[in-house]
Chains A and B, each alone.
Chain A
Amino acid sequence: GENVEQHPSTLSVQEGDSAVIKCTYSDSASNYFPWYKQELGKRPQLIIDIRSNVGEKKDQRIAVTLNKTAKHFSLHITETQPEDSAVYFCAASNLDNAGNMLTFGGGTRLMVKP
């Protein structure tokens, strides 16, 4: 089955700096890669996703890049703000499978210092 590795497990940045979180996946059939933000005790919220037919996607301060050959994808947050502090999870899925189940990475705890 799919295995998703996520690094780093914790990341501390100064407000205004950029943050980068990286994930690798093992199953070359995976073709959908969402990123979720989870605040303490709350639900994971989808912040951005990318499909394998696209190499990069951007939404305001958030961008995701995908390298299918190397089987890795990254989340980039620019001009970080204290409210960006949360745990971020990457995930991988195969849209061609009936279940479309997500395999999550281990999570990255992002702390943005004011």
Chain B
Amino acid sequence: GAVVSQHPSWVICKSGTSVKIECRSLDFQATTMFWYRQFPKQSLMLMATSNEGSKATYEQGVEKDKFLINHASLTLSTLTVTSAHPEDSSFYICSAREARGYQPQHFGDGTRLSIL
């Protein structure tokens, strides 16, 4: 159980393109989803916390107009990187936590974003 699906797994696109990444909890309801960014050989850096039906909470230094997060249902959160540039190239990973009680975070497979 507790499977998180993230799509797409790899995106290569031109500078200026907007890219949407989906994160779905397949067999549980997730009131909270988290979006992380990971550069090569570095740790996971939390970008934002996404709560179903409300605005996301962004970490300091993360531009909310650049990284649009939508959490419209208990099983889906999306991250849109708007007008992506080469410096946005990174590995983006989502995680989700079950609604009932406290449960560990379960991670998606990640999305490798390469901006040319």
The residues of A with any CB-CB pair to B shorter than 8 Å are 32, 34, 36, 41-46, 49, 89, 95, 99-107, 109
Which B residues lie at the A interface, using CB under 8 A?
Answer: 4, 32, 34, 41-46, 49, 57, 91, 93, 97, 102, 104-110, 112
Main secondary structure, interface of B, reads strand
Whether B44 pairs with A41 at a CB distance below 8 angstroms is no
Q: Are A45 and B107 also in contact (CB < 8 A) when A95-B102, A99-B49 are?
A: yes
Number of A-B contacts (CB under 8 A): 49
Determine the residue in chain B with the shortest Cβ distance to A102: B105
Contacts of B46 in A (CB 8 A): 101-103
Are A44 and B107 in contact (CB-based, < 8 A)?
Answer: yes
Contact A43 B57 (CB under 8 A): no
* Contact across chains for A99 and B57 when beta carbons are under 8 A apart: yes
Tell me whether A43 and B107 are in contact in the complex, defined as CB-CB below 8 angstroms, given that A95-B102, A100-B32, A107-B43 are known contacts. Answer: yes
